[in-house]
A and B are shown apart, each in its own frame.
Chain A
Amino acid sequence: MIEAVNLHKVFGSFQAVRDISLSIGAGEVVALLGPNGAGKTTTVRMLGAILKPSSGRATVAGFDIVTHAREVRHVVGLLTEFPGLYMRMRPLEYLAFFGALQGMNKVDCEKRSVALLKQFGLWEAREKRLDSYSKGMKQKVALIRALIHDPPVLYLDEPTTAMDPHSARTVRDAIADLRAARRTILLTTHNLTEAEVLADRIAIVRGGTIVAEGTIPQLTQQLMGTPVWELRLATSSSRAVPLIQDLAPIEEVGEDWLRFRNEDARHINPQIAARLAEHDVPLVSLAELPRSLEDVYLSIVSAQHVDRGTWSQSNGSAEALTPAEATIDEAESEVEEVRG
């Protein structure tokens, strides 16, 4: 549904996006995750045919974002970072305005507005002006605006930024419903929970480029290396260390526990359990240490001030990050130079 190849965007001397390639299938939800200024919004604006790429190309629903910009804008629904509503209007008037600009006829637009307002729980507040709405309600209206023409593709740019937890939850639930309805969604956020809960795939953007991409397990594996397992014993861990060190590299050792890296749990873990049983070492538990998206994300973001060797060593997977790391350093230094 969305295909982007080597997108670049330069504003004067500032390179906002460099070499972003992305492929999103129909019904897929992909989160662009990255700190402020990473280039997420610029990427969305290019894919929404609002900005033209400086180089590279992209298609959305088969339409080229440069040569068929108007068609692209028609198949895309954009939820901007801030709701940006016309506050003196009422929701039905507001939606009628955007429906008309999308080329909808008045009757269809009204029917759909009514249905969406009911679906998002705003029907009771339809007579109130938008300036009297809460933040969450405003963001819902903005989401309805993006959905008014029933687009197959949705871009949600920082949908819960600066919202209180309750409002954010409301909007997140609404997005989950859209996901269930098999819309193609590109979600940009720096909210890790949001990305983890809503996205099928995650692309981490930094310095205007995608530095890592995949599902959460893939990213964890790719960026944090082999999974770490923790063994808890009913005796001193010193008895277990000599028994398993030839099977898996041990990372840390505590009084009655130890941690080791294990790439092939299905084969190695039964062997470890068997050896421990053979030598009467009482086993309490053997479990994989959970690694969250936050660990993955922070490992990338905090990498900027760590030299290459230290980074690779501390994360155990140099080869997975070499190209990304090189690009990040390059990007950072150029941005620093530009900002002078």
Chain B
Amino acid sequence: MSLSAIRTIAYREVNDTLTDWRILAPMFILSFILPQLLIAAAGFAIDFVGDANTIVLLVPFAMLLVGFIPASFSLITALETFVGERERNSLESLLAMPISDSTLYLGKLISSLLPPLLSSGVAMSVFAFTLRISRPDLFGPGLTFQFFIIVVLLILAKAVVMVAGAIIISTHTTSVRAANLLASFVLLPTAAIVQLEALLMIGRRWDVLLIVVLLLSVIAIALIRTGMGAFNREEILSREHEQLNLRHVKRTFTTFLREYQPAGVTPDLYSGAKLSLSRFYRQELPALLREYRLPLGVALLAALAGALSGGYIGQNFEVRGFERYLSNVGSSPAPGLGLVAYVFANNMRVTLFSSIFSLFVFGTFSFMVPAVAFAQVSFVASTLASRGGSWTALTPDSPLTFLLSYVVPHGIVELPTAILCSALGIRIGASLMSPPKGFTVGQNILWSLAQFFKVWVLVVLPLIFIASLIEGLISPNIIRALYDAR
């Protein structure tokens, strides 16, 4: 990696951006005019609401907006980094230079970040300065040094996440239009994070905001690593030859479905053997699980994180939204095949859609399934414990009773199945980002989808059916026995 080449690439791009009035004009407006508008709006809001204290709570969020909107420009510049150059036919001459792929990637990353962050920094400074001069009543209580640092860190982390995600999109698309359409996969989660940050700012939860900064930093590092791993000349130029050939897609998918070979083995190297159930259960499934060690580890981590956070929340917070879980403890629907069918259909829907849609959100949905499931269980258990329930007695308020009746009977089968399915979905989500050597991104997606469908039909569905039978026919009786008997 050459630092001087990174600087050369970044300098050229930044120079190009900062001499283009079409970019400069909106950046100027966002840096100098938007802060004034928000401060004026704050004054108007105080007059309208008649309570300055409420508006003070919104000052940090206003500053976050002031900083975030110019920073979001980085998404636009990053999205068109490679695909834009390809459309302008300037990419090939750049790829012909004696520089490494990482150098090119980092040069582009830095150049996409610098101008929007500069604009963001100016905007926040203008906001803070103007607020101090014109509304000292809001500045003092609204903006503290601690808050200022956290907002800067939040914006920086989000900008890096957006740029790293956008560059991955830019290297995997063939037109700026397609890249812009795919930008929603970056924008929507970012918008959700901004909403979460707004709530936390109004609640003045700086500790949780710091955790958000840390999480965003982890995501940013993961995306940069993924981007660097997936970025190469081969992938970028190969896109020119990609054509959607449904027959070929079907043939490749069927090849991957019939026979298991590790990821990276191209379809032409498959033996052409037909799908065999005995071979699948005896040889292919164990080999597949070995290959899925990393996603299985990530799914286990999700379950553990869910369990810990559910336990923490249950012990330390009163969450009104979760009260219904607690109020339902002790009651149970009548056992029967209708309940079995309902539970089975629900689990089938969750395992199928969370995995398929994980493709579009880098595995997030699949990561969430075990996290949420374990969080719910540990939340109820820890809340019961914090309200005086004993971990050793089989009383109605005991977390032990809850676990033995509501979780263990079917959970012994259902929870490991959820983790397995989550791993399959996480692998689908990761397939878009870093194809193993020998595979294109398309082959990688088809391979992970084929493994998912095979395992889902032959392993997951039978297991969740067994779990549903237990949950629909046995668990209600255990619940009645343990709760109604008392």
A74 contacts B by Cβ under 8 Å: yes
Q: How far is B16's CA from A89's CA once the two chains are assembled, in angstroms? A: 8
A279 to chain B, nearest CB (A): 65
Interface string of A33-58 (1 = CB under 8 A from B): 00000000000010010111000000
Q: How far is B442's CA from A51's CA once the two chains are assembled, in angstroms? A: 18
CB neighbours (8 Å) of B233 from chain A are 50-51
Q: How far is B93's CA from A80's CA once the two chains are assembled, in angstroms? A: 7
| Listed stretches B120-128, B210-218, B240-248, B276-284; interface member | B240-248
Contact of B97 among A13, A81, A98 (CB under 8 A): A98
B137 contacts A by Cβ under 8 Å: no
> B243 to A71, Cβ gap below 8 A?
no
For window 251-297 of B, CB contacts with A under 8 Å fall at 252
A70 contacts B by Cβ under 8 Å: yes
Number of B residues with CB within 8 Å of any CB on chain A: 36
Number of A residues with CB within 8 Å of any CB on chain B: 37
A17 to chain B, nearest CB (A): 11
> A70 to B100, Cβ gap below 8 A?
yes
| Listed stretches A99-107, A254-262, A282-290, A315-323; interface member | A99-107
A95 to chain B, nearest CB (A): 12
B246 to chain A, nearest CB (A): 8
Q: Which residue of A lies closest to B266 (CB)?
A: A10
> B245 to A339, Cβ gap below 8 A?
yes
A-B residue pair count with CB separations less than 8 angstroms: 90
Q: Which one of A13, A85, A88 has the highest number of Cβ atoms from chain B below 10 Å of its Cβ?
A: A13
> A86 to B90, Cβ gap below 8 A?
yes
> A83 to B440, Cβ gap below 8 A?
no
- Given A50-B237, A76-B96, also A82-B440 (CB < 8 A): no
A242 contacts B by Cβ under 8 Å: no
- Given A11-B238, A14-B241, A50-B233, also A97-B12 (CB < 8 A): yes
B5 contacts A by Cβ under 8 Å: yes
CB neighbours (8 Å) of B247 from chain A are 340
A12 contacts B by Cβ under 8 Å: yes
For window 71-102 of B, CB contacts with A under 8 Å fall at 85, 88-100
Q: How far is B252's CA from A293's CA once the two chains are assembled, in angstroms? A: 43
CB neighbours (8 Å) of A12 from chain B are 238, 241-242, 248, 440, 442-443
- Given A50-B237, A74-B98, A338-B245, also A98-B4 (CB < 8 A): no
Interface residues, chain B, with chain A CB atoms under 8 Å away: 4-5, 8-9, 12, 16, 19-20, 85, 88-100, 233-234, 237-238, 241-243, 245, 247-248, 252, 440, 442-443
In the assembled complex, 13 residue pairs joining A and B whose CB atoms fall closer than 8 Å, in A order, are: A11-B242, A78-B92, A80-B89, A80-B93, A86-B16, A87-B88, A88-B20, A97-B8, A101-B9, A101-B98, A142-B93, A340-B245, A340-B247
Q: 4 tightest A-B contacts by CB?
A: A84-B89, A84-B90, A82-B89, A11-B241
